[in-house]
Structure formats: structure tokens, C-alpha cells
Structure 1
Amino acid sequence: METLANLESFVRSAEGGSFSAAARRLALTPAAVSRNVARLERNLGIRLFQRSTRRLTLTEDGERFLHAIGGTLEALQAAIADAASSHGAPAGVLKVGMAPTFGVTHILPLLPGFLARYPLVRPEWHFENRQVDLIAEGYDAAIGGGFELAPGIVARALAPAHIIAVASPAYMRGRVPPADPAGLAEFAGIAMRSTRTGRLRRWMMRDVDGTEMPAMLRDGVVVNDPAAMREAARLGLGVALTAVPDVLPLLESGELTRLVPRWYADAGPISIYYASRTLLPAKTRAFVDFVAEAFRRERLAERFAGSLG
């Protein structure tokens, strides 16, 4: 009987058009995927792909075999995942993507407790200011905001991503605090340049009554990293418009102070993203539930809410 590994390598190679694309999805090397496909061809006695240096193309036999498999592969994967989660503890490499500032501040501290509960899981966490492709890059989950929900990906909201105005007490000493976002134009600004678009980020703020007003900071210091923006504000270089989670520890310690506290901008929810399989691998389900539980326990949704002043 043919092995699931050989069938998975064939199907993912057909979907991605290359062994490299299949390898990323299956967390294997391209050479391992190629060997699995070659073994399948040898066992079946047919050639499934026409190979070139640039792309794989299904042969007629390959097209016929792919069609014959149909949804059987997904059913087999679900059955195996179900058996593993029912009879075994969560285990294996857990590949997760998240933004560096948010991840180091709020997610990394959860790791000791998670590993104490699930010691067979091996974390591989990537801290990057970009939206990862969960399927193509082989991620089990990602945490952040503003992800495009590709087919097969679901999002579980954890907390709001509210943008607020902050400055250091030293910078504000001797200055009159602004009454509304328009008044921010009187202060030196710390601007954020998007690594994705190359543009300076601008925000429309709203108050608790729903009134909207643009925040017009003067461009002074320009950075492209939330941690750098937070540090520049802490050093007294001006006013920054930044996400509450990125500056919450400094607000609570008094190293930063919030300006126009009735006003905030809404950047959408912070969510945990994962593949929408009927039966998630036990390691992924355990991680998703653990993070959601920690957010509830620490009241992070409430603490991240700039709308609460």
C-alpha cells in the first residue's frame, strides 16, 4: 500500500508546480520530496511529471491519478491528525510568525508555561515585521493584525489594535498638552515608514463619542520599526502614534505618558491565524487555545483598548 508521505509529496508538488514549493508546505527538503515522488512513480509503474529545470508539469497519467485521488488525501490527513490528537500529547515543531516588538513583549513570556504543559512541542518562532504566508512557508500559526485571509486560513481575534499618542514626561515638561489630535501638530513627531509600502503612516483618530479627526504630526524622526519608535519616544525625541501593546509596559511604569487620552485610531484586531483544517494538529490547537486563555487571564483585550482612555 502506498505511503501517505509519497501521496502528499505528489499532490503538493502538483499544486505548487515544483518540489521546492511542496517542500515548504510539508517541512521537508526538495530532495526528500523528489525521492518520495520518484518512489511513488516506481511503485505505480508510471511517470507522473514531466520535469524541467524551471517547472513540473503533470503527464496525462499524472493528471488522471491526481483526479482519482480527489479529496481522499485530505480525509487521510484528517484521520491521522484525529488519531494523533486523541491518543498522543501535542508534539513536534511548532512554527509561528509574529512581529518582533509585540512577540517579545507579550507572546515570548508565555513560552515557559506552554512548554511546561506541552514538553514534547519544539518551538520555532520567527520574529519579523511582515505578513508570512502560512501555507506556502509552512507556518503552523501567526499572530498579528491586518493579514489577508487567503483560502484555507481562519483568524481568531484576541484583542484590539488601537493606536494612541505617547510622549515621555521629560519631553512634555513645560509644554501644554494638546486638547485634540489637531493640537499634535505643535509637537515634534516620530513617524513610522511602512516596510511594505514605503509610505509614512497616517492615522485618523476618533474619540469615545465617535467624532473623527486626523492626527497631523510634524515629521521629525522617521523610523521603520515599532521598537525604534517606542525607544525614540522614551528618549524624549517627540510624540509617537503607536499601538498600545507596543508601549503598554512603559505606560504602566510611567516612562511614557498618553496624550489626548480620549482619542485613538483603530488598526483592526490582533488575531491568531492558522489553517482551517477540520482537525488541527494537536500542537497547533494546544497553542491557539493556550494563547487565547492567556489573553483572557491577563485581560489583554481590555488593557490594549485605547478606547477606554
Structure 2
Amino acid sequence: MDTLNCIECFIRSAQAGSFAEAARRLGLTPAAVGKNVARLEASLDVRLFHRSTRKLSLTEAGEYFLADAAGGLSALQLAMGNLTSLRSQPAGTLKVSMGLSFGREYMVPLLGEFLRRYPSIMPDWHFDNRQVDLVAEGFDAAIGGGFDIPQGVVARELAPAHRVLLAAPQYLEQAAPLDSPADLPQHAGILIRSPQTGRVRPWTLRNREGLLASVEMKTRMTFSDPEAACVAAEAGLGIALVSTGHAQTYLRRGTVQRVLPDWYVDAGAISIYFAGQKLLPQKTRVFIDFVREQFQQQGLAKLLSAL
């Protein structure tokens, strides 16, 4: 029996709640995962799971074993991987989550240089506008902003997470005068629902002097996608409040312009997130260092700032 493989199948099954999902994460068949768990149970002479056609749950013994084994297995796998990397370049599949537009515009262009330096790493990038569970979903890292940082997760800041108001010149020519945030209630708002809550979040504008003002507009339409909001603003349908990362593409085209350019929303920071563990895989460590280096060298933090 390959004990490490059997223990890993048990741990992933416990975390995922099913053999099928554990198999998907491990690249195995559900039958292979189930057999490995059964071999482990036979070796330990104890039942680790309660099994039914609908549910997989831990026995009391399984809960104790999971608590003792999970951290030890991760540390051992990392130690083995890092020892191997001492003799060669960092290698392996690098699973990273990032926002769709942000990843396409700012991360994919960095891939060429990253692969030139680390040809043995295979990127497996997931473009999701949501916060992922790094451990439960098997991600090595994630990039995003406005997230709550769970216990055991470390964040390294890359750039400010600013938002700006955008509108097409033809909209502003026909709409009511707009000289200060107090004029916003007279204007058509292209609003964006939060992917986490499904609600439109209230935002607060600020300027360089530190003055604050609420963002209040007449709701003309509501979207779940900031890219769609930019396209609607480009079409002259109203004013959109979007991240600078989304705004830059349209500002460069000249099809939209900033509304109240002295005002912006400070939503915190865009950061790279990873599990806070002493023994970080080499593939993850070099990726984090590379991204931070590129953001500094290419001035991406300044580009994404509204100031």
C-alpha cells in the first residue's frame, strides 16, 4: 500500500465531502480514491467514514485522524517538493485564482517572462470574480481585492483597489451639469451587484483633500459584471462606477472619460493571497516574488491608482 497516497485520498475526501470531488482535485477516478481510503481503513483497522449513497461523513475516529494527519501530510509533501527543487528548477502545476478582466489585462501579459524563467511550472489559472477557499479548493494563490483575509492566509499588497466614475462624452453633453458629487442624484446610474451578496454596495467617494461624499445616482440599470457596465457607459447609457483596472482599457480608447476626476473610491488594496505556512512550495514562492517584482518594475501600481 502506498501510504502517502492513501492518506492524501482520505484527507481530500474529508475536505471535499465526497470521493468524486476528491478524485477531480487529485486527477484520479472516484473508484481509485474509494479503494485507497478502504486500504487505509484496513491498514488502521478502523472505519474513517460513514458511507451512504448521498453522503460521506467522518466517524469519530476519522475526525481525530484528520486533525492529526492533515497538517503533517502537507508539511511532508512540501518538504519533499522543496528538497527536489533544490536539485532542479521549481516545477509543478500552479493553480491560481484571479478576476477575469484583471487576469486577462494585467496577468496574462506577464506569462511569457514567467515561463521563460520557470519552464517547468505549468500555470492552471482560474478566472473567477469571487473569493476562493485556498485550502479547500486546492489553490496555490489568489489575486484580488476587497476580500476578508481568513485565518491562516497571508496577503501581499500589489496595488491600490480604487474605483472611478466613467461616462461617454455624448452622455455628459446631453445630461444635467455635473460639477460635484451633489449633482450625481440627477444622473442615470449603471450599478453593479456584488458577486458575494448579490446587492449593490453603497460606496463613498473621496478626494485628495480628504473630503467624503456618498455615491447616489438614479438606478438606470444593474449588472453583475463590471465589464458590461463599462460597455454600457461607453454606449452613453449612464455613469458607471468601476475599478481602475476595468476603466483603463476604455479610457485608453477615449470612448469614455472620468466623471468628477478629482474624486474616487478607495476600496483597499489588490493583493496576492497564499496560505501562511512555514514551508511554502517553491513554485508558489517564485510566483509571488515574480508578480510583486513585475508590478513594481512595470509601474502597475501607479497605473491602477486613481490619483
TM beyond 0.5: yes
Aligned counterparts of 2:95 and 2:45: Cα–Cα separation in 1: 37
Note closer, same or farther for the CA distance 1:305–1:162 as it changes in structure 2 (3 Å cut).
same
Counterpart in 2 of 1:55? 56
TM-score (norm 1): 0.86
Offset at residue 73 of structure 1 (A): 2.8
Please state whether the residue corresponding to 1:179 is helix, strand or coil.
Answer: coil
Identity rate, percent = 49
The verdict on how the C-alpha distance between 1:149 and 1:34 changes in structure 2, with shifts beyond 3 A counting, is farther
CA contact (8 A) 1:191 1:200 kept: yes
Describe the superposition over 1:269-306 as per-residue Cα deviations: whole angstroms up to 9, x where unpaired: 11111222222222222222222112111212122122
CA contact (8 A) 1:102 1:246 kept: yes
What is the root-mean-square deviation in Å for CA atoms of aligned residues? Answer: 2.7
Secondary structure, counterpart of 1:173 in structure 2: helix
Q: Give the number of equivalent residue pairs.
A: 306
Q: Deviations over 1:122-178 (max 9, x none)?
A: 222222222222222222221111223223322111111111111122322366762
* 1:207–1:70 distance in 2 versus 1, CA, 3 Å: closer
**What is aligned with 1:19?**
19
Deviations 1:48-87 (A, max 9, x none): 4443331233365x56766775854344223213213322
Q: How many angstroms apart in 1 are the aligned matches of 2:64 and 2:242?
A: 54
Q: Aligned AA for 1:251?
A: L
Equivalent residues of 2:75, 2:279 under 8 A apart: no
Give ranges in structure 2 of 5+ residues lacking alignment: none
Corresponding position of 1:214: 214
Checking the alignment, whether the CA contact within 8 Å between 2:175 and 2:187 is kept in structure 1 is no
1:279 match = 279
Q: 1:218 to 1:71 in 2, by over 3 A?
A: closer
> Are the aligned partners of 2:181 and 2:213 in contact in 1 as well (CA < 8 Å)?
yes
Distance in 2 (CA, whole Å) between partners of 1:64 and 1:102 is 41
Say whether 1:6 aligns with 2:24: no
1:110 to partner: Cα distance: 1.6
- CA separation in 1, counterparts of 2:292 and 2:265? 24
Pair 1:77 & 2:77 matched? yes
How far off its partner does 1:265 sit?
A: 1.1
Matches within 5 A, 1:193-272: 193-272=193-272
In structure 1, list runs of 5 or more residues that go unmatched. none
1:212 offset after TM fit, Å? 0.9
With normalisation by structure 2, the TM-score equals 0.87
| Residues 56 and 174 (structure 1), Cα distance of their counterparts in 2 relative to 1, 3 Å cut | closer
Instruction: Report the 3-state secondary structure (helix = DSSP H, G, I; strand = E; otherwise coil) of the residue aligned with 2:287.
Output: helix
1:159-198 Cα distance to aligned partner (Å, 9 max, x none): 1111111112232236676222122223222111233323
> Is this contact kept in 2: 1:14–1:58, CA < 8 A?
no
